[in-house]
Structure 1
Amino acid sequence: MKISDEPAFVLHARAWRESSLLVEVLSANHGRIGMVARGVQSPNRQALRAALQPLQWLRLDLDWRGELARLIQAEAVDVAPRLSGDAVLSGFYLNELTMRLVPRGEPQPNLFLAYAQTRQRLADPEQSLAWTLRRFERDLLDAIGVGFPWHLDRDGEPLDPAARYVVDVEQGAIKVLTERTAEERRFSPSGRALLSLAADELPTEEDLQSLRIPMRVLLQHHLGARGLKSWDMQRLMRRGSKASGVRQ
């Protein structure tokens, strides 16, 4: 199958054989695609090699006849965002999560749009990184068919903003009926936090923090036993900060 002028974002690229790359992209009309970019590491193809960087927005011409497509041509649509600080790890997380959970060859137009918006937000220092990632996690889970109505409980009733909820992988939000310890509350976001996520409205800092662990639990379930390298990197960075006395 020939594919021409296909919009796509680069998720990952690694060396293959002497002068080629194996590249994963998220495309607008065909979902995640794995492809071989032959000879792009040779000196006379530096421009094409430079275009195959993670987060880069491209237009692709492909020949797709098996599991992997063959790259014919790629043209950069814009300049990939120049991330710094925590945004670098966030960009790595964005791509790793997409590669791990999105199957190849299934069209994901809504996720493609969500990825484009997230990519733009990561480059904006005025945007909350935590909120940017929670929104993308929500959109990804919805896109692959394992999300749920974020504004309703497991019985289909509207959430109580003042209540606490456990987010169950199969049933959705389950209201907590008894008082919980401080440790247990870390796993139980408020109804107000979940309603903010459903409405795509920036929550308070406390509510935003309460969403991180429940979303991590949901994602871990679908990832299986093997977690993400970006999570491991984040843990190492936090340990290093604590050891040096730096507060985050």
Structure 2
Amino acid sequence: MTEAQNAYILHRRPYGETSLLVELFTEDVGRVGLVARGARRPRKGATPLEPFRPLQVTWSGRGELPNLRGSEPLSSPLALRGEALYLAFYLNELLLRLCPRFDPYPLAYGAYQEALAGLASGGRDQPLRAFEAGLLEELGLAPDWQQCARCGRAVTASGAYAWEPELGLICGHCTTAKRPYSGQAVLGLQAEADHLGPEIRRQARDLMRAALAPYLGSRPLESRELLRALHHRGSRG
């Protein structure tokens, strides 16, 4: 049996008649898939296997799907409702899509905790952009956000930039292509972003989507579709 690991549940689904297949993100081991036997009919007083509650877990067995042996709550689940809940599921989906099993990402684990806390306290753009940037950095996929990928000129707040998937940020001196991203948006990826205007926040969101796109593939993110539906219902209401 493993030593106890701090963990969060990213996803769960039925497995057989009485069990669950749970995907966890752990502090020391990374993403782990476990079979929680009998969890669909938990005994009285058992810890609910629910997302966004910090847990301490143990498991045993070999292969891709060991058995969950124990889980203890470290605190109450975070109060995430409405849009914040959907955004938190977006964080989970990024980890599921980008992190292979059994590869430790301790910095991403800390960034995930900080992002959840930020969402729970009312933050929106800043927790998301900080987490996305930190995850790309730890995966070794982050571009250089500080300078043009062609000429090396430093990014400035007054500049305008294009994005080329094979290279990264390209300044106006090096391309005649459309440059939809302001220097403020680029610099906002690594600073307090929630105080920026809505257009700058939108640019930062779109730039990060462009940076993530090659690694997420063509399959749409379910959390984005759910969030789009939520906003649509809100606009009709």
The TM-score, its normalising length taken from structure 2, stands at 0.90
User: Helix, strand or coil for the counterpart of 2:181?
Assistant: coil
Q: Residues 136-177 of structure 1, C-alpha deviation per residue, up to 9 Å, x if partnerless?
A: 111111121111221222043311221111233331210135
Larger mean CA deviation between 105-114 and 62-71 belongs to 62-71
Residue 233 of structure 1: how far off its partner (Å): 1.7
Counterpart code for 1:201: E
- Distance in 2, matches of 1:192 and 1:171, equals 20
- Tell me the equivalent position of 1:194: 186
- Tell me the equivalent position of 2:163: 167
CA contact (8 A) 2:126 2:192 kept: no
Residue 64 of structure 1: how far off its partner (Å): 4.1
What is the Cα-based RMSD across aligned positions, in Å? 2.0
- Tell me the equivalent position of 2:215: 222
Residue 40 of structure 1: how far off its partner (Å): 1.8
- Tell me the equivalent position of 1:130: 125
Q: Residues 67-123 of structure 1, C-alpha deviation per residue, up to 9 Å, x if partnerless?
A: 112111011111111211210111111111111111111110110010011111111
- Distance in 2, matches of 1:166 and 1:7, equals 40
- Tell me the equivalent position of 1:31: 30
Q: Residues 162-205 of structure 1, C-alpha deviation per residue, up to 9 Å, x if partnerless?
A: 1111233331210135788xxx66xx22122212323x333622
CA contact (8 A) 1:24 1:32 kept: yes
Residue 208 of structure 1: how far off its partner (Å): 1.8
- Quickly say closer, same or farther: Cα 1:109–1:156, change in 2 above 3 A: farther
- Distance in 2, matches of 1:153 and 1:32, equals 34
CA contact (8 A) 2:188 2:204 kept: no
- Tell me the equivalent position of 2:7: 8
Aligned residues: 233
CA contact (8 A) 1:153 1:175 kept: yes
Counterpart code for 2:221: L
- Tell me the equivalent position of 2:226: 233
Stretches of structure 2 lacking an aligned partner (at least 5 in a row):
none
User: Helix, strand or coil for the counterpart of 1:10?
Assistant: strand
- Distance in 2, matches of 1:64 and 1:114, equals 29
- Tell me the equivalent position of 1:209: 202
User: Helix, strand or coil for the counterpart of 1:158?
Assistant: coil
CA contact (8 A) 1:190 1:210 kept: yes
Residue 235 of structure 1: how far off its partner (Å): 2.7
Q: What pairs up with 1:42-53 in 2 under 5 angstroms? A: 42-44=41-43, 47-48=46-47, 50=48, 52-53=49-50
- Tell me the equivalent position of 2:112: 115
More helix by share: 1
Q: What pairs up with 1:29-178 in 2 under 5 angstroms? A: 29-44=28-43, 47-48=46-47, 50=48, 52-125=49-122, 127=123, 129-154=124-149, 155-177=151-173
CA contact (8 A) 1:138 1:147 kept: yes
- Distance in 1, matches of 2:200 and 2:216, equals 25
Larger mean CA deviation between 203-212 and 92-101 belongs to 203-212
The TM-score, its normalising length taken from structure 1, stands at 0.86
